[in-house]
Amino acid sequence: MTSIELFVQVFLDGVLLNLCVLGVLGRPKRHLGGLLLLSNLGVCLVSRLAGYSTNPVDYVVLPLDSFLFSPFLVLAVLLLNSIYFDSREGHILWGTVTQFSLFLLFREVCFVLLGLFGLSTGFWPIYGVRILSLLLWAALWCTGMLRWIKDQLEEGDIPLYIVAGNTFLVLLLILGVWKTPSLRDYLWLPILAAILALLVLVDGIVLLWDQNRIQFQRRGRLLEQYLPMVEELVESVRARQHEYNNRMMAISAAMVTSETLEEAQRKVAELAGQVSLETTDRELLKCDSKVLCGMLFGKVKQAQLHHIQLQISITGSFLHRSLSESDWVDLLGILLDNALEAASAGDLIFLQAEEEGDALCLLISNPCPPMSRTEMAQMFRRGWSTKAEQGRGYGLFNVRRMVEQHGGKIIVKNEEKNGQNYLTIGALVS
């Protein structure tokens, strides 16, 4: 093997190692990206030169020929990451674990795939695995998966730590079995499968527990946020009920004291003008979720501040659907905020929730110029927005993703209401 071949292999190893850490930890501090790349290349070069094997296939997965030296490589990279990245509790450690999990996953998957297609000799196991690993990294980057992993790491997501750690251990175990001829006995295959199954089971239990915990905590926060609005609504209804009772007594007295029928009709008409409960309040009281009731009441008051009327009609149930209360809050919040932002003073916005078979059909309509089917489809694309501000255009994209993940259907159409065109956006959720 020539020096050029060695350099190319080490260069591809260092680039992938560097890309993996950038994907999960972000940019290094003080714009030291160039030095970070050189450092990763240096680690890969030293690891490669420290090996005794002359077979380049032994360095395809990791730039090491011995499985026993893997901890030293991890520690060296961990030291580099602690130097180049801002340190927070557990962030660098688990970021490094995730980095190596991705590195091993890319390499081992590509190695196995090429072997399945009979490409296990010559160029393919040495250079093909390395090139395909870079392409696999690029695919994950384009899909946004790496950005999601980075966000979860920054939030200190414990399930991600567990999944990354278990994945790292399993992949290291597979590598160790492959690199140790004495362990390549068929008896190790069921043991390896059992360990893998156990770790997957543990990951599933932890993820389910954490999801339930997060949902419980979020519902508690939503109740804390919106219950005062529900209490305000109830007090408003009670005040109107008191006013109603007083006016009914006044109507009775007017009928007794009036000397003529015309006078009685006039007094009754004056007093009966404001005795009914507001339609919006009456519809809000039909909502079977206190959280949603409070949130909608808050949106009604927000609309009133901008001299916009929000007309609500609820004849269906929000609870016991595939969407949780917190999901409904997110969905309604995004759609109503978009409608309020698009509306002007004096406009009327419609919100309708009604049963449609076994599903709930939610529709929100606001005045809008007619839109083509192409424009309607573009509305739900990631990053699409009529505004120029950075970071916008994710609301409707998130709505579509949320609804489709739960087997629902997005509704968008032009409708004529009150002699003008309305844009209606909603969802059908079972």
Mean pLDDT (the chain) is 80
Angle, in degrees to the nearest 10, between helices 145-154 and 3-25: 60
Give per-residue pLDDT as tens, 1-17: 788 999 999 999 999 99
Sign of CA dihedral 152, 105, 45, 6: negative
Give per-residue pLDDT as tens, 155-213: 776 777 777 887 888 778 777 777 776 655 555 555 565 566 566 666 666 766 666 66
Give per-residue pLDDT as tens, 288-304: 877 787 778 888 888 88
Enumerate residues 6+ apart whose C-beta is below 8 A from 343. Answer: 306, 308, 349, 366, 367
The CATH 3.30.565.10 portion of the chain extends over 279-429
Enumerate residues 6+ apart whose C-beta is below 8 A from 341. Answer: none
Fold of the domain built from segment(s) 279-429 = Heat Shock Protein 90 (3.30.565)
Look at residue 392 and tell me whether its pLDDT is greater than 60: no
Look at residue 48 and tell me whether its pLDDT is greater than 80: yes
How high is the pLDDT of residue 272?
A: 56
Q: What is the mean pLDDT of residues 50-54?
A: 86
Look at residue 131 and tell me whether its pLDDT is greater than 90: yes
Look at residue 381 and tell me whether its pLDDT is greater than 60: yes
> pLDDT grade, residue 404 (50/70/90)?
confident
Q: Rounded to whole angstroms, how far apart are CA atoms 85 and 78? A: 10
Burial 410-419 (b: 16+ CB within 10 A, else e): bebebeeeee
Give per-residue pLDDT as tens, 65-123: 887 788 899 999 999 999 999 876 578 998 999 899 899 889 988 888 888 888 888 88
